[in-house]
Structure 1
Amino acid sequence: MKLKTANIYLIQSGGIRPVLLELITDDGVTGVGEAGLAYGLGGLAATGMLKEMIERYLANGQGPFGVQSLWAEMYDHSFWTKGGGPVVFSAMSAIEQALMDIKARALGIPVYELLGGRMRDGLRTYANGWYFGCTSDSDLPKAAVGAVTDGYGALKFYPFATILPDGRLRHPSLRGASEPELVRQAISRVAAVREAVGPEVELMLDLSAGATPDDTIRFCHAIEKFDITYVEEPADPGDIGSLIKVANALSQRVAVGERVYTRYGFRDVLESRAVDILQPDIGNTGGLLEARKIAAMAEAYSVKVQPHICASALSTAVGMHFSASIPNFYIQEHFPYWDRIPGHIEVLEDPIEPTLKNGVIPIRDSPGFGVTFRREALRDCLYQTVAL
């Protein structure tokens, strides 16, 4: 079996811009992957990096099965991978995912079997994006209750974020979020949501490294009475010293990882002993096998793991296979409300989201990732086809 064609897609989908990859073999087996730069900037850069990597490393009769060998070749010889960031590692992640999908489909097994096998039948999940469509702080409590009514027993939101007119959020500025009135507003938001959903629902707060360490500490002390499950990114991802300072001052758990890349980046985070939950993004940290190695490192430090997910429905499917296979899984991130954002495009024929029951993702046992692209939705989104 040899790789024959690579299709790279760049999709304008409401509030995000997913970058998807499809690899096709000469036997007609197809594998899919996603570069995890759907939000923020970098999607166009990821498509270009994907094209270059595919042309250099997958052309000339390359087979799809030597995943680890190919990963090492890309890491050792792409130059910018050493100390690299999200663009180069998101491209490697998409390629690795698609190859894993091909391999599993060719063998007739789910991808989680390639990661050591399934350890659970369902994944406890939390709803992110439940606030989509809110246009003011007063809308948040009702939206939170709506998500709980839908069966979610855990919710995450962004207390320092700005609510935009189209119902999305804008992540905080380090300068803006440290202004006293915005800190007070953030505390008020947490109080209102907690009152609305009651004491039994778990609340997670993503701080997005938006406040200075001292203001973060003051804020977290002020919300202790609201029983927050964890605070995410309480310090700049590259500032281990501030992370240690904040973690040592908090009673809440600390979660970090969406902007940390490969096992090499997570090594220093784990050595700091300042983190309780790691959140590698399978779409930008190097792929499934790399995330599996990160989870194994975390296990040695008695640290929980949950994959960071904020992209298309494909990323949820990929995350399901990863989470099903690791012993130190904590909870699965999940965006069930993207369709509230104008212009949203569903990229899969068979997304996982509609199969949830009572906030739990059932583990699928179909070959590969168990999902297929919606051809009609992607018809006008093809960025590049590369003949291999």
Structure 2
Amino acid sequence: MFLNSARIYAFESGGIRPVILRLETDEGIVGLGEAAVAYGVGASAATAMLKELAARFLTGRIDPFRIEAITASIRDFSFWAKGGGPILNAALSAIEQALVDIKARSLNVPAYDLLGGRLRDDLRAYANGWYFGCASDAELPAAAEKAVADGYDGLKFYPFATILPDGRLRHPALRGAADRDLVRRGIARVAAVRDAVGPDVELMLDLSAGLTPSDTIRFCRAIEPYEIAFVEEPTEPDDLGALQLISRSISQPIAVGERLYGRQGFRDLLESRSVAIIQPDLGNTGGIWEGRKIAAMAEAYGLKVQPHICASSLSTAIGAHFSAAIPNFYVQEHFPYWDRTLGHVEVLKNPLETRVANGRIPIDDAPGYGVLLDEERLSDFVFAEIGLR
């Protein structure tokens, strides 16, 4: 068996820009992967990078079972992969994920069996995106109550983000250094949401490295009465000095990881002992197998793992297989309300999202990632077709 073709999809979907890879073998077995730079800026660059990597490293009757050899070749001979950032690593992630999917489907086993087998039958999930559609801070408490009523006992949100008229979020500029009221507004938002959902719902706060370390510390100390489960990215994730300063100064657990790439990107973070939870994004850290290696490193340091997930429903399925197979799984990030966003495109025929109940994501035993791409719906979004013989 060898790789026969690659197809890359790129499109707009409800405020994000998913980039999806479809690999097919000469035997007709299809594997799927996603380059998860769907938010922010970078999807177009990742799409072009994915096309270049596929043409350079997947051609010439490549055996898809040799996943480690293929990814090592990309790291060794693309030059930019060593010390590389999100664009190359996102493209590499999509390739690695698709190869894992092909191998699992060929063996007629779920992807989690290639990671050591599943440890659990479903995953507890917290809701992100529950604020979609809110036009002001005043609407946040009711939206939070609705998510809890839908079965979620954990909610994440962004206390410093500004809600725009169309419901999108804008994070603080210039570390909020000149905005005297930014910390006060963040405290008020946390207090309002906590009051709405009561004491038994976990609240997670994504700070998005939005403030200076001193203001972050001041904010975290002020919200101690609200029992926050974790604060995410309280500073830039590669600023270990600031992370250590903040971790020594606040009581909340710290979570970091969506902007770190590969095992090497997490090594110094783990050795700093400044975080409690790591959040590798399987669509930009090197893939699902690379994520499994990172989780094993974190386990040696006694850390929890909560994969970062913010892309299409394909990323939900891939993340579920990852979390099913790691001992130190904490909770799954989940966006249950993408369909509230204007222009949302569902990429799968059978997304897990339709089967989430009471805040629990089911673990399937179907081969591979257990999902089918809706190729008819995506037919207008083909960026490139690449022959790989």
Q: Report if TM-score (shorter chain) is over 0.5.
A: yes
Contact 1:34–1:315 (8 Å) recurs in 2: yes
* Aligned match of 2:168: 168
* Aligned match of 1:10: 10
Counterpart amino acid of 2:247? A
SS in 2 for 1:319: helix
Which structure 1 residue ranges, 5 or more long, are not aligned? none
Identity %: 64
Contact 2:176–2:212 (8 Å) recurs in 1: no
Cα shift at 1:285: 0.2
2:383 aligned with 1:367, yes or no?
no
2:20 aligned with 1:53, yes or no?
no
CA displacement 1:156-197 (0-9 Å, x = unmatched): 000000101111212222433762211111100000000000
Counterpart amino acid of 1:36? A
Contact 1:168–1:341 (8 Å) recurs in 2: no
Contact 1:232–1:255 (8 Å) recurs in 2: yes
Counterpart amino acid of 1:11? F
- Size of the aligned set, in residue pairs, is 388
C-alpha distance in 2, partners of 1:351/1:335?
12
Counterpart amino acid of 1:65? F
Query: How do residues 119-138 of structure 1 correspond to structure 2 at under 5 angstroms?
Result: 119-138=119-138
* Aligned match of 2:387: 387
2:14 aligned with 1:22, yes or no?
no
Counterpart amino acid of 1:263? R
Query: How do residues 259-270 of structure 1 correspond to structure 2 at under 5 angstroms?
Result: 259-270=259-270
* Aligned match of 1:301: 301
* Aligned match of 1:68: 68
C-alpha distance in 1, partners of 2:65/2:180?
55
SS in 2 for 1:375: coil
* Aligned match of 1:190: 190
CA displacement 1:68-111 (0-9 Å, x = unmatched): 11111111111011111000000110000001000100110000
CA displacement 1:24-55 (0-9 Å, x = unmatched): 11111000000010001110111111111111
C-alpha distance in 2, partners of 1:202/1:117?
29
Distance 1:120 1:178, change over 3 A: farther
Counterpart amino acid of 2:266? F
C-alpha distance in 2, partners of 1:289/1:377?
29
SS in 2 for 1:377: coil
Counterpart amino acid of 2:313? A
TM-score by length of 1: 0.99
C-alpha distance in 2, partners of 1:171/1:12?
21
SS in 2 for 1:53: helix
Cα shift at 1:116: 0.5
C-alpha distance in 1, partners of 2:386/2:375?
18
> Once superposed, what is the RMSD of the aligned Cα atoms?
0.8
C-alpha distance in 2, partners of 1:278/1:51?
30
2:99 aligned with 1:99, yes or no?
yes
SS in 2 for 1:123: strand
SS in 2 for 1:326: coil
CA displacement 1:103-134 (0-9 Å, x = unmatched): 10011000000000000111111000000000
Counterpart amino acid of 1:351? P
C-alpha distance in 2, partners of 1:106/1:360?
29
C-alpha distance in 1, partners of 2:171/2:318?
25
Which structure 2 residue ranges, 5 or more long, are not aligned? none
